[in-house]
Structure 1
Amino acid sequence: MLFEAFAAGGCRSYILGCEASRAAVLIDPELSLADHYRGHLLQNALTLRYIVDTHTHADHFSASRQLGATLGVPVVMHRQAAAPYADLRLDDGDMLIAGALKLTAMHTPGHTGDSMCLVMADRVFTGDTLLIGGTGRTDLPSGDPHALYESLFQKLLRLPGDTRVYPAHDYKDREHSTIADEIAANPRLQKTERAEFVAMMRDLDLAAPTHLTEALRTNMSGGKTVAQLLAEAAARVPFMAMEELDARLGANSGGDLVVLDLREKEAFAAGHISGARHLPRGQLELRVNSELPDPTVRIVTCCEFGKISTLAAATLRELGYLRATALDGGIAAWRTAGYSLEAEAPAVPRPSSS
């Protein structure tokens, strides 16, 4: 068997390949490593047969949907997974075959309701059910400490002791463990009584994952991350350098260039590029026809950090303003570079009539 492990932060993913048939399986792919997986498959002349997510991840972005669509490979999850893009849904005991590779699904709810492990002859891919020296948490959506206890002590830990354990996470660069090692040394597995184990899991008081909402939203629905939206928008619009805009402002007496400031009123009033028009991003689509009656005009969008302006420039191009560009870096970079900003004079209070 050909075997390769990949790491991104604490996330672990795996490609298994049949040496004879060159068929391969990808387990728990992470979005930032999508190109690495493709490169490994090409370099080793492997044909991907299945992409498997062991559960709905809440702490990173799965690459399953993107890779499945790009490569034309079925995405595999447990039948309880909410993701609508899963092509093949497994029950407990179902087996995947790729050449000489045989992986059997073991439903192990607890970390999530759709958690499963993939069991082979000499190893098991445990997702977040069992980690090296730990277990998956049970305080996230669909988590259940009672279910995790049963999954561990009544199913997973009954595998042969020399079975290698390959989890979906490890933060100490450990490649694998074994079932016997975990039974002997994993602190959480020393609580062998259900009540003690459940109480321990409920008292962990762990911090929420950094990208919890976004990861669950995208992994459960197949939606896009904010980074993906920004990358797609950036690929559809050109940018204007600060020095280019500064030079053009001095020669803009004919009004052939519109600088569109998308920030809120207070930020615009505190300091904006000379001659910029103010149109908050939230009102762009509603006011664009009246504010920008000439669709042929050249537009430079700007915001504080250059992200909202990139999205807005892409929107303007979709609306037919084909000369829309975005300021590279935004107002923060403009300010740091020493270019001038104009501030609005504070409103003079009206004298009291009394």
Structure 2
Amino acid sequence: MIFEHIATGGCQSYLVGCADTRAAVLIDPEITQLDRYLGLAAHNGLHIRYLIDTHTHADHFSATADESGAPIVDMRVDDGEMMALGRLRLQVLHTPGHTRDSVCLVVEDRVFTGDTLLIGATGRTDLPGGDPEALHESLFQRLLRLDSGLKVFPAHEYKGRSHSSIGQEMAENPRLQRRDRAAFVDMMRNLNLSMPTHITEALRVNMSGGKSVGQLLAEAAARVPFMSLTELRSHIEGATGELLVLDVREREAFERGHIPGARLLPRGQLELRVNEELPDPT
């Protein structure tokens, strides 16, 4: 098996390939790392056949909908089904709890646990689709019953650790010491974690396969010519009411100074407010 581990901040992606056929799968790819993934695949002589998200991500933008030529695994799979990757076999385990669509993937001596099981923690259950009762079932009745020697590779890791094992997590993971269902559920419901940045936008993009506001702005910047302040002033003075100047900075920066007549719509709120603030003229 050919294996590459790619970290993007706390987000972890994995390139897994068959050494005989050179077919590969990319697990939990992050949109900003596409060139890196393709470079690693080329370096190892791999052909990426599948892009798989272990769950719908709420804290970053997935690359699974990117037009890279690899098929997207968006089909329904049953718990325990096998996916063929050359001579490798990926076993799919449905492990809801962090999200309804969470899965883990067992490949040879390792299991890719997504956000179901982290190193020293578990996925949270307070985001859309989260369910602490389901997570308890997935962990204690499914995942933790696998071979204790299986290496654990999660979708997030913030302390620089590459992997753990099922046995190590059972012995040392603080959340897994709450094995009683009621105690576990109570703990998960009282974690009081902060919400991910741009959660609404990330969920919309990752669930629909659409583009993020950042991608849309980058594409617009590539097509729309640069306009100097002098040119803009000329356009504003000659406008007949059809010109809209949108300022996407934060309010504090806007209040320090802005173009007369500009409308404030901070970039972080753009996805939530755009339909209300800018109704379709058609």
Q: TM-score normalised to the size of structure 2? A: 0.84
Q: What amino acid maps onto 1:259 in structure 2?
A: S
Shift of 1:43: 2.3
Aligned match of 2:68 in 67, 70, 77? Answer: 70
User: Matches of residues 56-67 of structure 1 in structure 2 within 5 Å?
Assistant: 56-66=56-66
The alpha-carbon distance between structure 1 residues 259 and 138, as it changes in their structure 2 partners (threshold 3 A), is: same
> 1:318 — aligned with what?
none
Change (3 A) 1:258 1:92: same
1:89 counterpart (66, 71, 76): 76
The alignment status of 1:111 with 2:108, answered yes or no, reads: no
* Corresponding residue of 1:185: 172
Deviation of the 1:118 alpha carbon: 0.2
Range moving further from structure 2, 121-130 or 43-52: 43-52
Say which of 215, 240, 244 aligns to 2:227: 240
8 Å CA contact retained: 1:260, 1:302: no
Give the 5 Å matches for 1:159-198: 159-198=146-185
- Determine the C-alpha separation between the residues in 2 that align with 1:7 and 1:50: 19
Q: How is 1:223-302 mapped onto 2 (pairs within 5 angstroms)?
A: 223-241=210-228, 245=230, 259-261=234-236, 276-277=237-238, 287-288=241-242
Provide the residue aligned with 1:20 in structure 2: 20
| Aligned twin of 2:266 | none
Aligned counterparts of 1:8 and 1:259: Cα–Cα separation in 2: 44
TM-score in terms of structure 1 length: 0.68
Cα separation, 1, equivalents of 2:132 and 2:102 = 13
Which SS does the other structure have where 1:38 is aligned? helix
Equivalent residue, structure 2, for 1:31: 31
Query: 2-side partners of 1:305 and 1:141: how far apart?
Result: 27
For residue 68 of structure 2, what is the amino acid of its counterpart? T
Contact 1:65 1:222 in 2 (8 A): yes
Corresponding residue for residue 109 of structure 2:
122
Alignment length, in residue pairs?
A: 257
Aligned residues of 1:23 and 1:47 also touching (Cα < 8 A): yes
**Residue of structure 1 in register with 2:280 after alignment:** none
Structure 1 pair 7/260, CA: closer, same or farther in 2 (3 Å)? Answer: farther
Does residue 203 (structure 1) correspond to residue 190 (structure 2)? The answer is yes
Q: Using a 3 Å threshold, how does the CA distance of structure 1 residues 213 and 51 change in structure 2: closer, same or farther? A: same
1:37 deviates by: 1.0
Classify the secondary structure of the residue corresponding to 1:259: helix
Please state whether the residue corresponding to 1:169 is helix, strand or coil.
coil
1:287-317 CA-to-partner distances (Å, cap 9, x unmatched) read 54xx7xxxxxxxxx865468xxxxxxxxxxx
Contact 1:259/1:302 (8 A) holds in 2: no
Aligned to 2:269: none
SS in 2 for 1:240: coil
Report the secondary structure of 2:68's partner residue: helix
The match for 2:274 is none
CA displacement, residues 149-181 of structure 1 (integer Å, 9 cap, x when unaligned)? 010001100111110000000011110000011
The answer (yes or no) to whether the contact 1:56–1:216 under 8 Å persists in 2 is yes
For residues 106-137 of structure 1, what are the alpha-carbon distances to aligned partners after superposition, in whole Å with 9 as ceiling and x for unaligned? 00000011100001221000000000000000
* Structure of greater Rg: 1
Q: Residues 144 and 303 from structure 1, CA distance in 2 versus in 1: closer, same or farther, beyond 3 angstroms?
A: closer
For 2:7, the equivalent position in structure 1 comes to 7
Which blocks of at least 5 consecutive residues in structure 2 are unaligned? 262-282
Deviations 1:90-115 (A, max 9, x none): 21111111112211000000001110
Secondary structure of 1:90's counterpart equals coil
Verify the 8 A CA contact 1:53 1:64 in the aligned structure 2: yes
Query: Structure 1 residue 48 and structure 2 residue 86: aligned?
Result: no
Change (3 A) 1:199 1:100: same
Indicate the SS of the match to 2:76: strand
Match of 1:295 in 2: none
Q: Which residue of 1 aligns with 2:202?
A: 215
Structure 1 runs not aligned, ≥5 long: 77-85, 250-256, 262-275, 280-286, 292-300, 307-330, 344-354
* Counterpart pick for 1:146 among 125, 133, 139: 133
Is the 1:110–1:148 contact (alpha carbons within 8 Å) kept by the matching residues of 2? yes
Alpha carbons of 1:98 and 1:234: their partners in 2 closer, same or farther (altered >3 Å)?
same
Distance in 1, matches of 2:185 and 2:215, equals: 38
Q: Distance in 1 between matches of 2:3 and 2:260?
A: 60
